[in-house]
Amino acid sequence: MHQAIGPDVADLAETYDLTTPSQHGWAVDYRIRRDDGEELHAEVRCWDEARTAAERAGNANALEAIADRGLATALEYAEIVESPRERGAVMISIWLDPADNGNLRVASATSAGQSEPGNALAAWKPPKPVPSEPPTRRRSRVACRMALVQGV
């Protein structure tokens, strides 16, 4: 599957459904090819509580992201983060925050160990830790994903 959204925007190269039955929501990993030819991964998560919070608040941005499983957001952010050519493997993490009306949260990490805050797009707020997942587990998942991207 290869999907282009528009000119000068990253392309979707592959989609992996990471959802598990016990998750109470969904999770997707996108392999994205940037306009400069470099590839990166974006993991998007939405819990049922975040969807409910977004619906209750009438959060149009969050509901739009939920409707396309975060694909447009992932493709847009893929062009904003630094190139994997400059920083090594790049992993973008996007989630909808149930504690904040389902607002989008974005963080990125590189194999060099540096991260970029998720405030590159004016509508997004800086990232917070994922509420239902301990930070140590989240770091290890990102580290595993980085190893996968690097082919280790």
Place of tokens 């190139």: 83
Name the residue ranges covered by the structural domains of the chain: 3-150
pTM: 0.68
Phi, psi (rounded to 5 degrees) for 72? -60, -40
End-to-end CA distance of the chain: 24
Res 49 pLDDT > 90? yes
Residue 105 has a pLDDT of: 92
CA distance 83 to 91: 11
Most confident of 110-114, 118-122, 146-150: 110-114
